[in-house]
Amino acid sequence: MVTDSGAGGSNHFDCVLDSFENITGATTGIFPIEFEEVKCTNIAGNPVITNWADQNAWYCKMMFQNIGGWGQLEAVKACLGSKCSDPKLFSGATWTGCPQGEGNQIKFTLTQKSPSGATEQIECTCNRAWPWSTNTQCTCPKNFAGSGSPSPSPTPTPQPGPTPRPTPTLRPTPRPRPQPSPSQCSSPEGDCRSTECCQEPGMSCYEKDEYWASCRASCTPGINPNDPPEYQTPWSCKLIGGGGGPTPQPAPGPRPTPTPTPQTTPGGWAGSSMKATHYWDCSGQGCDATTLQPWDQAKYPLVMISFVRHEFGSRLLEIPRII
């Protein structure tokens, strides 16, 4: 049997030795337990009131047994005729503080409170002379029904868990930029700002300024001496291509004129291959000697050479002239 005798305080239960050994496996000691209040379902009969004290009109010690419902009393009221009192729990299941005096009848009002707070009362009228002798008993006409509901199970205290690691933000992999076909790219003579690619293998698109960029094998920032004089402005040599979108199109500027290449005149004559081997004058493509001979310093001790600029169509040639 397990009882709440009150010997160890409000949070203490007492057991007879056999029950203690069956529950704990030991014969002595204090053990922590968990419990929940439930209704008493194996109670047979009704509550029984017993006087444990001697027969005394000024003092009583009453025990209330076989309590149904929730198995305990919240309060007791005793009335001897018109005199009433509220006995107090003394120890275990015994109460003291009955009304003083004598009478032919005493009435007890028993109050029970459920774990959820609901209250229920029953009245026990004992028709016999008061005070009672030791072990005198009185049985109530009915037992508690056990109104109300059990207290809710305690919510377990959540245990701190590991701090979750932040989920890394995944960035989408950029899609590769489609490569243009050679026909869509620029030639070495063209402006590659809009296409951003070159037709010739090994060439890249380099920026000169905001108005011009061309395909070159390499680029050194600054003036390019191979540019025509009127277009010898600095190159930025910024590599164009591989960007993330179309480049804004500025207003087109003047396109540089390619460096002229000497052309061969009809008949196979090329002025760049001429050299002076005699005293002659080729200003009119004719010579003053009928036969060209090796140079003879004795015949021509003083030689002066000048250069004559001739215009052949749109080209200028400088030809040496012996004076």
Per-residue confidence in pLDDT tens, the chain, 323 aa? 666 666 666 667 777 888 888 888 888 888 788 877 788 878 889 999 999 999 999 999 999 999 988 888 999 999 999 999 999 998 777 899 999 999 999 999 999 998 888 999 999 999 999 999 999 999 999 999 887 666 655 555 666 666 667 666 667 666 665 566 666 898 888 899 988 899 889 899 999 999 899 999 999 999 998 888 888 899 999 999 843 333 334 445 566 665 555 554 445 544 555 554 544 444 444 444 555 566 566 665 554 555 555 555 545 555 555 55
Please report, in angstroms and rounded to a whole number, the separation of the first and last CA atoms in the chain: 149
| Bridge partners of residue 64, in order along the sequence | 49
Nearest to 114 by CA among 28, 210, 39: 39
For the purposes of burial, counting CB atoms within 10 Å of the CB of 133, is it exposed (0-12), middle (13-18) or buried (19 or more)? Answer: exposed
The gap from C-alpha 181 to its chain's centroid, in whole angstroms, comes to 43
Q: In CATH terms, is domain 42-139 a member of 2.60.40.760?
A: yes
- The answer to whether the CB of 280 falls within 8 A of the CB of 259 is no
Domain boundaries, the chain: 1-35, 42-139, 181-251, 274-322
